Amino acid sequence: MSLEQTISKGIMEAMKAKDTVRLTTLRNIKKYILEAKTAAAGVELTDADVVRIISKLAKQGSDSAAVYTQQNRPNLAEEELAQVRVMQEFLPRQLSAGELTEAVKAIIAELGATSMKEMGQVMGAASKRLSGQADGKEISAKVRELLS
């Protein structure tokens, strides 16, 4: 079963369970999937494409929650975080700091990078390989640290 089908099934289950947070979140994800399909002229999306969409939405939700917290609006922040928790169920497990370090070291060794001049090359490979498993800022910081 594809990730898109799993989300559609989750929508049905959330309706039956009357779980409004889960239902709203999954419908929102489904909307973005349909928009991406329309933009791609009806081409089927792979699970990797769907993970990218969900990852982007989760990051936006986390950022929004941070802004709401700064503005002393905890009720709105909690709503966003509840939706992010639902989205995280569909994302691959996030790498720990140690796992991220090892993965970036392997990429650097594979490419033979030795200085900050090759950071763009390393970032391109790392971003592709670690997509959905680590935040881009974390990857960038780790690459910068290891190449310095």
CB count, 10 Å around CB of 65?
21
Q: Does domain 3-88 have CATH number 3.30.420.40?
A: no
Buried/exposed 104-127: b ≥16 CB within 10 Å, e otherwise: beebbeeeebeeeeebeebbebbe
CA-nearest of 95, 94, 96, 69 to 81 is 69
Angle between helices 3-17 and 20-39 (to 10 degrees): 150
pLDDT on residue 71: 95
pLDDT on residue 127: 85
CATH of domain 97-147: 1.10.10.410
Tell me how many degrees the CA angle 8-48-29 measures, rounded to the nearest 5.
35
CATH 1.10.10.410 segments of the chain? 97-147
pLDDT on residue 95: 85
CATH 1.10.1510.10 segments of the chain? 3-88
First to last CA, the chain: 44
pLDDT on residue 63: 93
pLDDT on residue 24: 96
pLDDT on residue 84: 94
- Residue for token pair 């498993």: 133
pLDDT on residue 39: 87
Q: Is 112 helix (H, G, I), strand (E, B) or coil?
A: coil
pLDDT on residue 17: 95
Q: Is 51 helix (H, G, I), strand (E, B) or coil?
A: helix
Per-residue pLDDT of the chain in tens (148 residues, 90 and over written 9) = 888 899 999 999 999 999 999 999 999 999 999 999 888 776 788 888 898 899 899 989 999 999 999 999 999 999 999 999 999 999 888 888 888 899 898 998 888 888 888 888 888 888 888 877 887 888 888 888 888 8
Rounded to two decimals, what is the model's pTM? 0.76
